[in-house]
Amino acid sequence: MRRLEDEKILLAHGGGGIMMKELVSFLVDAVGGQEGALQDSAVFDAPGGRLAFTTDSFVVHPLFFPGGDIGHLAVCGTVNDLAVCGAVPKFISLAMIIEEGFPVTDLERIASSISAAAEEAGVTVVTGDTKVVDRGKADGIFINTAGIGVVPAGVSLSSDFAVEGDRIIVSGTIGDHGLAILSMREGIDFGSDLKSDAAPLSKLTVPLLENFAGIRAMRDATRGGLAAVLNEIAVDSNVCVRIEEGFIPVAEAVRNGCELMGYDPLNIANEGKLVAVVDPGEADAVLEAMRGMDLGRDAAIIGEAIAGPVGCVIMKTSFGGERVVDLPYGDLLPRIC
Amino acid sequence: MRRLEDEKILLAHGGGGIMMKELVSFLVDAVGGQEGALQDSAVFDAPGGRLAFTTDSFVVHPLFFPGGDIGHLAVCGTVNDLAVCGAVPKFISLAMIIEEGFPVTDLERIASSISAAAEEAGVTVVTGDTKVVDRGKADGIFINTAGIGVVPAGVSLSSDFAVEGDRIIVSGTIGDHGLAILSMREGIDFGSDLKSDAAPLSKLTVPLLENFAGIRAMRDATRGGLAAVLNEIAVDSNVCVRIEEGFIPVAEAVRNGCELMGYDPLNIANEGKLVAVVDPGEADAVLEAMRGMDLGRDAAIIGEAIAGPVGCVIMKTSFGGERVVDLPYGDLLPRIC
């Protein structure tokens, strides 16, 4: 692999001269060496039909955490946005804003995570950009990825499409990512097995959509957590979403951590979990298929869409009562992605 | 237009809850109110054929400068990357990293520039993302845009394609953008007419490519300036690029500013100028066509590709000598885009 001679990133690495070319060459090698990666633009053949396009910036703090890092997250986050709108993710862009003084070894580690995540997700980094800002004007590194995916003919998903009777499936335990970040940031050990769930959900969505026409909507439960996604579906589809607390998979460490810190697992961000709205006739088969795949092994049907009150999410609690699951107002855990 | 109740951006505006929805609604309205703009993902029909895909992050300092601002620049920069690879720009994504405490009025002003620039360039903002970082962890606002364009059948441009005899055309005066930023940053007045040249070059490239098959390559002269672009062409095409200093259009204020500050205009960034490599048989006609359009009114043929020395850029100076135009090594003017 080409190496940078400098140990730290300098302002001059962003200046458009020889040093910038060296930085870009180093990064191209580190993200997998694809010819043309990180060029200004990529030109490629696209099939006619529907494409999906998405973007996300990543400002997670800290940059490295149990189960992942900002590079891995930056690929998974964009891949997941494409996956839940039914697309097969194909191409991603990679833009880095690097603070002067950032250690080159950390950059190498992040680039290597990007490479591994892209390979796992089956996407190619085709274009990119690097900027360097003066010390104190960013927080180490911020990464933006944008992505393009191909939506197969016949696939059409929308949070508008839920109807009364549809089952709500979550693909696994919730809250792992947010709690892992919190644990790292605050230096609190909630349990040795707690780590981010960040993963490319296309590994789950692509085979599911090939086999089941009864999937009406999918959303990945990132900022705002499960609560935000369920509220979105309830509002967009004009239904009431009714879930049962006891059915929601939550890992022991996350449950304990949330109790200790006063958080609701329903509001905590995930980076490798999706919610699917499924025709009741296919729900059991979709659940079984999810459970047969690594990323869906803890999947569960947690509730269903009912007639009313429209736009509301209602949860039957473990104590037998009912409560409204609101969208959180402000920020509980900043900078988790 | 929907307004935010807060005067400044808070961390909570990035948290995935109601306040984030309010921020996104405000921004969607401000960038032009397109339904779906700034959603997680966009799905659209694409024609079969070749697409171009690009990304750029913008960290320009200061955010507002003569002739533009970070919002206008963020649209033009990405549009220009698409334009010079021969594409008709169609869709852009918009991702903002905002520092806690950023004034909402500035955000509104930037969003309004984005809207105007997108309209001028004929692109639609189809997807987006907002992140908020704690005070002191960014510098006001950073913006990333990615873009998708459609490459018309028959159009194929590359910096590899220059051959001996091809003419080198620059679309107008060089150095205006970089000097305008420098002037603002340092508080030095180089001349009242000095302003950024940031503009969507697709207004120039799309009609040119419809009419002239002899255009072999185009590059926009951003970081590294004209010198970087000419070196890239010389290296990629295995030719020598020979230019004449006296033919290069430079505005009086830029010439004076560069002399005063010790800069070479050839290294200064532009955001609305391109270099075209054109078959000698069509060069005069391309030049005339450029000059007939607003963005190309000061276009000039500045030199040609010759046989050797391969990979070099040589300039006949105004004093009658010759010098090699090197790629700058490090950074001359940081954060100009």
Whole-angstrom Cα distance, residue A20 to residue A39?
A: 12
Maximum Cα–Cα distance across chain B: 67
Please report residues of A whose CB lies closer than 8 A to that of B56. Answer: 95, 129
Whole-angstrom Cα distance, residue A280 to residue A262?
A: 35
A334 interfacial to chain B (CB closer than 8 Å):
yes
- Contact between A91 and B146 using a beta-carbon 8 Å cutoff: no
Neighbouring residues of A165: CB distance < 8 A, sequence distance ≥ 6 = A280, A304, A305, A306
**Residue of A337, A309, A302 lying closest to A324 (CA atoms):** A309
Q: What average pLDDT score do residues B126-148 get?
A: 96
**Which of A45, A51, A57 shows the shortest C-beta gap to B97?**
A57
Task: Report pLDDT for A334.
Answer: 87
To 10 degrees, the CA torsion angle through A63, A14, B89, B82? Answer: -120
Which residue segments constitute the domains of chain B, with CATH numbers given? 11-151 (3.30.1330.10), 167-324 (3.90.650.10)
Please compute, for residue B76, the number of CA atoms within 13 A of its CA located in the half-sphere on the CB side.
30
Q: What average pLDDT score do residues A319-336 get?
A: 87
Whole-angstrom Cα distance, residue B88 to residue B232?
A: 23
- Contact between B85 and A151 using a beta-carbon 8 Å cutoff: no
Task: Report pLDDT for A325.
Answer: 96
Task: Report pLDDT for A301.
Answer: 98
**CB distance B304 to B166 below 8 Å:** yes
Task: Report pLDDT for A37.
Answer: 65
**Residue of B299, B305, B263 lying closest to B284 (CA atoms):** B299
Please report residues of A whose CB lies closer than 8 A to that of B84. Answer: 41
**CB distance B41 to A85 below 8 Å:** yes
Please report residues of A whose CB lies closer than 8 A to that of B267. Answer: 17
H or E stretch at A49: strand A49-58
Task: Report pLDDT for B35.
Answer: 57
Please report residues of A whose CB lies closer than 8 A to that of B45. Answer: 49-51
Confidence label for B31 from pLDDT (cuts 50, 70 and 90):
confident
Confidence label for B331 from pLDDT (cuts 50, 70 and 90):
low
Task: Report pLDDT for A181.
Answer: 95
Does the structure show a pLDDT above 60 at A13?
yes
Distance from chain centroid for Cα B81: 7
Task: Report pLDDT for A36.
Answer: 63
Whole-angstrom Cα distance, residue B132 to residue B104?
A: 13
Report the percent of chain B where pLDDT is more than 90.
Answer: 81
First and final C-alpha spacing in chain B = 29
Confidence label for A83 from pLDDT (cuts 50, 70 and 90):
very high
Does the structure show a pLDDT above 70 at A250?
yes
pLDDT digits 0-9 by tens, B183-220: 999 888 887 789 999 999 999 999 999 999 999 999 99
Q: What average pLDDT score do residues A244-272 get?
A: 95
Which range (A173-182, B35-44, B120-129, B306-315) has the least confidence?
Answer: B35-44
To 10 degrees, the CA torsion angle through B5, B11, B15, B18? Answer: -10
**Which of A18, A48, A224 shows the shortest C-beta gap to B48?**
A48
A163 vs B308, which has greater pLDDT?
Answer: A163
Tokens read off for B223:
């970081």
- Contact between B331 and A139 using a beta-carbon 8 Å cutoff: no
Confidence label for A34 from pLDDT (cuts 50, 70 and 90):
low
Please report residues of B whose CB lies closer than 8 A to that of A56. Answer: 95, 129
Please report residues of A whose CB lies closer than 8 A to that of B50. Answer: 43-46
Average pLDDT, chain A: 93
Neighbouring residues of B321: CB distance < 8 A, sequence distance ≥ 6 = none
Task: Report pLDDT for A28.
Answer: 87
A153 vs A191, which has greater pLDDT?
Answer: A153
Task: Report pLDDT for B334.
Answer: 87
User: Within 10 Å of residue B324's Cβ, how many Cβ atoms?
Assistant: 10
CA distance A139 to chain B (A): 5
Tokens read off for B329:
């090594």
**Which of B16, B43, B133 shows the shortest C-beta gap to A139?**
B133
**Which of A20, A41, A124 would you mutate first to test chain B, the one with the most B CBs within 10 A?**
A41
Q: What average pLDDT score do residues A253-282 get?
A: 96
Confidence label for B67 from pLDDT (cuts 50, 70 and 90):
very high
B156-215 residues touching A, CB cutoff 8 A: none
Does the structure show a pLDDT above 60 at A33?
no
Does the structure show a pLDDT above 90 at B46?
no
CA distance B81 to chain A (A): 6
Task: Report pLDDT for B15.
Answer: 84
Q: What average pLDDT score do residues B221-246 get?
A: 96
Q: What average pLDDT score do residues B146-165 get?
A: 95
A131 interfacial to chain B (CB closer than 8 Å):
yes
CA distance B316 to chain A (A): 22
Tokens read off for A253:
């460490």
DSSP-derived pairing of the beta strands B141-151 and B88-99? antiparallel
Please report residues of B whose CB lies closer than 8 A to that of A222. Answer: 16
Token pair 């970087």 is at which residue? B228
Sign, Cα dihedral of A209, A211, A217, A222:
negative
Q: What average pLDDT score do residues A148-163 get?
A: 95
Which range (A52-56, A191-195, B158-162) has the least confidence?
Answer: A191-195
CA distance A102 to chain B (A): 14
Maximum Cα–Cα distance across chain A: 67
CA distance B25 to chain A (A): 14
Does the structure show a pLDDT above 80 at A173?
yes
**CB distance A34 to A124 below 8 Å:** yes
ipTM for the whole complex: 0.96
Does the structure show a pLDDT above 90 at B73?
yes
A243-272 residues touching B, CB cutoff 8 A: 269
**CB distance B330 to A17 below 8 Å:** yes
Does the structure show a pLDDT above 60 at B33?
no
CA distance B142 to chain A (A): 9
**CB distance B330 to A12 below 8 Å:** yes
**Residue of B202, B200, B169 lying closest to B83 (CA atoms):** B202
> What is the total residue count of chain A?
337
Tokens read off for B260:
């005063």
Whole-angstrom Cα distance, residue B165 to residue B168?
A: 9
H or E stretch at B314: strand B313-316
**Which of B11, B51, B225 shows the shortest C-beta gap to A46?**
B51
Does the structure show a pLDDT above 90 at A293?
yes
CA distance B247 to chain A (A): 24
Whole-angstrom Cα distance, residue B261 to residue B33?
A: 43
Q: What average pLDDT score do residues B66-78 get?
A: 97
pLDDT digits 0-9 by tens, B293-305: 999 999 999 999 9
Task: Report pLDDT for A331.
Answer: 64
B47 interfacial to chain A (CB closer than 8 Å):
yes
